[in-house]
Structure 1
């Protein structure tokens, strides 16, 4: 599936991944290939991206949308 992580300043990540774990405001959740459509708010915590290698981004909040194997993260800020 394709993942894009965007902040108001720049695009942080774009590429194919196999799984992404998010810090949802109601608890942590994971998105895999062919996941059902979803829109959720993000709390403060780690976004763990699993693809060719594992990457972790710390987000201060935001929104994630999952639709047709495309995952778009609009993050307030990434540290």
Structure 2
């Protein structure tokens, strides 16, 4: 599935991933390949990204950390839309 993370400053990440875990209003949830279409508000927390290979923008490299096999990106808030195996996340 394809993930794009965009902040007001730049596109932080764009590429193929195997899973994405996000902080939703009612708790953390994960999206895998062929997940049902969803639109959600995100709260302060951490986006966890699992990907076979990881190429990022310079803006993203300054903001993320790595834990085991996942990349972690702290956010203050955001919105998410997933449809047809494409995830768009807008973050603050």
Q: TM-score, normalised by structure 2?
A: 0.80
How many residue pairs end up in the alignment? 76
Q: Report the aligned-residue RMSD.
A: 0.8
- CA offset digits 1:15-68 (Å, max 9, x no partner): 100000000011100000000000000000010000125211001001000000
Q: TM-score, normalised by structure 1?
A: 0.93
Structure 2 unaligned regions, length at least 5 = 53-68
Matches within 5 A, 1:21-60: 21-52=21-52, 53-60=69-76
Specify which structure has the higher proportion of helix.
2
Bigger radius of gyration:
2
Tell me which stretches of 4 or more aligned residues in structure 1 moved more than 3 Å.
none
Structure 1 unaligned regions, length at least 5 = none
